């Protein structure tokens, strides 16, 4: 029997996340949302707008300005059988809850000899590009990807924004969902009948033969634009969206580079100690003899993020840098 065609609709990334929350709250009475201003204000990024009117204060809980306090409370409710979604607002503020995430949520299963799972989902916005200055423009998802006991996912598309939440809630262990703040207003085609999505596999968004552009989050779209520009120069670029930073789907991006022989890694964080270094070392370990050129990295500048708009853009990965890096690998003398 021929399966029915999937219909789709255009929504913003923010709307896809809101729909994901509504679906989760409707499907499972154990699910609740907790965080600063998630209730009547509707969330700092308007993701939870309207949810308190539909689900009430018991399930949409405003908290004091105490990240360590409400993340710790969320861990307690997860241990008690609930399925909390904790919004930490931004990765910049998540450092105030790092002790709870690293020393408690990520370690309890191991330290209890497998007796205590912590099924908590922690959401946070990341990234720069909105003129918020150095203290509110960090990209620290690599810190969380460094921690055993966590899963770290980075939805870029509206389908992933909607589908990854339910998958994360079904996981018996902690999942950190990192959403780039620059994506909230971005529109995309959402599959209306879509269910939860796999959070363990990377996705090849565009097939190519000459160079692999490996990235995650908002830089997926910069890489797709770069691939279009490279096509005009006679370079066929493959674009790989990691989708998760822990666990890394090494097989997908390694296979891509074995095919193309070249890799440009685009990372929103700093180059020093960044996820790009982990990806590059993985390629050296597993695909060294397939490489036809050195591995290139395009990362944010090694400075605190400037406030001025033109300097901020200069400090972030841009399409032109990706194109130039790929060009140098494929056609260095052109």
pLDDT digits 0-9 by tens, 98-109:
999 999 999 999
211-236 pLDDT, tens digit each: 999 999 999 999 999 999 999 999 99
Give the model's pLDDT for residue 215: 98
Give the model's pLDDT for residue 1: 37
**Terminal Cα distance for the chain, rounded:** 53
Q: For the chain, where do the domains classified as CATH 3.40.50.970 start and end?
A: 10-191
Domain covering 10-191 assigned CATH 3.40.50.970 in the classification: yes
Residue 136: active-site member: yes
Give the model's pLDDT for residue 51: 98
- Pick the catalytic residue: 15, 67, 238, 278? 67
Give the model's pLDDT for residue 7: 66
Supply the pTM of this predicted model.
0.95
CB 147 within 8 A of CB 178: no
- Residue ranges for the chain with pLDDT beneath 50: 1-4
Give the model's pLDDT for residue 332: 84
Give the model's pLDDT for residue 129: 94
Give the model's pLDDT for residue 194: 58
- Pick the catalytic residue: 136, 146, 170, 286? 136
Q: For the chain, where do the domains classified as CATH 3.40.50.920 start and end?
A: 203-330
**Domain 203-330, what architecture?**
3-Layer(aba) Sandwich (3.40)
């Amino acid at each position: 029997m021929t399966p029915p065609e999937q219909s789709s609709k255009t929504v913003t990334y923010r709307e896809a996340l809101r729909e994901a929350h509504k679906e989760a709250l409707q499907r499972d009475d154990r699910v609740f949302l907790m965080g600063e201003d998630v209730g009547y204000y509707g969330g700092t990024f308007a993701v939870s707008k309207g949810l308190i009117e539909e689900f009430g204060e018991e399930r949409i809980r405003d908290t004091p300005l105490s990240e360590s306090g409400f993340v710790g409370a969320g861990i307690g409710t997860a241990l008690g059988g609930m399925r909390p979604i904790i919004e930490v607002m931004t990765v910049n503020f998540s450092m105030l809850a790092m002790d709870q995430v690293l020393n408690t949520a990520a370690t309890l299963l191991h330290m209890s000899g497998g007796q205590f799972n912590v099924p908590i989902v922690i959401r946070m916005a990341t990234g720069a590009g909105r003129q918020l200055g150095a203290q509110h423009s960090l990209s620290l998802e690599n810190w969380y990807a460094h921690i055993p006991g966590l899963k770290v996912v980075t939805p870029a598309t509206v389908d992933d924004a909607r589908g990854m939440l339910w998958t994360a809630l079904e996981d018996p262990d902690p999942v950190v969902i990192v959403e780039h703040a620059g994506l909230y207003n971005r529109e995309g085609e959402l599959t209306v009948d879509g269910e939860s999505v796999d959070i363990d596999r990377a996705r090849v968004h565009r097939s190519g033969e000459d160079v692999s552009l490996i990235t995650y989050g908002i830089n997926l779209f910069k890489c797709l634009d770069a691939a279009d520009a490279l096509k005009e120069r006679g370079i066929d670029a493959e674009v790989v969206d990691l989708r998760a930073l822990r666990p890394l789907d090494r097989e997908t991006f390694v296979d891509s580079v074995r095919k193309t022989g070249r890799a440009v890694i685009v990372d929103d964080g700093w180059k020093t100690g960044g996820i790009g270094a982990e990806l590059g070392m993985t390629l050296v370990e597993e695909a060294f003899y397939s490489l036809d050129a050195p591995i290139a990295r395009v990362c944010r500048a090694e400075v605190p993020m400037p406030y001025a708009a033109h300097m901020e853009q200069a400090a972030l990965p841009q399409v032109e840098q990706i194109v130039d890096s790929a060009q140098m690998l494929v056609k260095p003398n052109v």
